[in-house]
Amino acid sequence: MPSTPTVTGRFAPSPSGPLHAGSLIAAIGSYLSARSQGGRWLLRLEDVDEGRVRPGAADTILRQLEALALDWDGPVQTQSSRKAVYREALVALQAQSMVYPCACTRQEIRDFGEHYPGTCRSGLAPGRQTRSWRLRVPDHLPPWEDRFHGWQPSPAPQYDPVLLRADGYFAYILACVVDDGEHGVSEVIRGGDLLALTAVQRYLQSTLNLPHPQYGHLPLLCDADGRKLSKSADSPAWTGSPSQAWEETLRLLGWTTPAGLHGASALEWRDWACTRMAVEQPLYGTAPLACTSRQR
């Protein structure tokens, strides 16, 4: 009988645009990590913020992953179809007073400066109406260990993030934690821009009695001006050949790639990289988390 995989990884792009060269680091990195351990690799389209979804982007992402020979397990999950599940989680948090209603408008929040100062934490001012729901984050969050960057110290007090927005959409932070929990995700390998959010996501897991996956954050790719590539900021889609994409991505992760594989098919690259990782190659070890520019 085949043994049940113990590792479940995932790739969770937002369909706010096609994958760019930076997204490939998270796609290929999370794939290699899960598959080299004999694990499952799930694909989730994070379209919870429906206003940011670009028509056709979801389809393009699937085609790009297929071209790279990154095969996922089971059906593609979409967050827009799971609102009832997120609502259930919010109701559970409401029942334990882990969340509170917030009446602040966008303008008021802008006026507060960088972070929401907890204005509605101890109750709504008379006559104010609930606009959103926020997570009540304690002042001290425990340290946690990143697979590539080691122990992350307790962060300075975090502002209370919105879980249900004024426009009725659930926030990414809640949807992601609920989905990872429900789909049995045991490792989250993703872009370094989300490292700072992890302590709060872990806290949310604890409040919802969900297990903590292992987290590992990979380097970000920046443009020539040092700005992180991002789908929503219209960074150019990855358009090169699959072989080039594999070669370049592995190099960005610090791998030395054999000249003999230059121009090989995506399938050959994938199988070579999985085998290598299963034997001796760390996915990513020494390079800093900060933006890495593409070398040309």
Write down the least CB distance from residue 277 to ligand GLU, Å: 20
Q: Give alpha helix (H) positions in the chain.
A: 21-36, 57-67, 83-95, 106-112, 172-182, 198-207, 242-252, 266-279
Write down the least CB distance from residue 231 to ligand GLU, Å: 7
Write down the least CB distance from residue 261 to ligand GLU, Å: 28
Write down the least CB distance from residue 114 to ligand GLU, Å: 21
Neighbours of 178 (CB within 10 A): 22
Burial label for 102, CB within 10 Å (0-12, 13-18, 19+), is buried
For ligand GLU, the closer CB: 216 or 242: 216
Write down the least CB distance from residue 267 to ligand GLU, Å: 25
Query: Quick check: 289 binds ligand GLU (CB under 6 A)?
Result: no
Query: Quick check: 194 binds ligand GLU (CB under 6 A)?
Result: yes
Query: Quick check: 202 binds ligand GLU (CB under 6 A)?
Result: no
- Residue numbers 45-104 binding ligand GLU by CB under 6 A: 46
Q: Which residues pair with 150 in a beta bridge?
A: 146
Select the residue interacting with ligand GLU from 9, 13, 18, 213 (CB under 6 A).
13
Residues 30, 149: Cα–Cα separation, whole Å:
16
Write down the least CB distance from residue 74 to ligand GLU, Å: 17
> Amino acid letter at 252?
L
For ligand GLU, the closer CB: 13 or 242: 13
Which span (8-16, 32-40, 122-130, 259-267) binds ligand GLU, by CB under 6 A?
8-16
CA-derived radius of gyration, the chain? 20
CA distances 83 to 80, 100, 183, 247, 293, Å, are 6, 19, 15, 39, 38
> Amino acid letter at 196?
A
For ligand GLU, the closer CB: 187 or 248: 187
Select the residue interacting with ligand GLU from 28, 70, 176, 252 (CB under 6 A).
176
For ligand GLU, the closer CB: 100 or 172: 172
Sign (positive or negative) of CA dihedral 226, 228, 231, 232: negative
Q: Which residues bind ligand GLU (CB under 6 A)?
A: 12-14, 46, 176, 190, 194
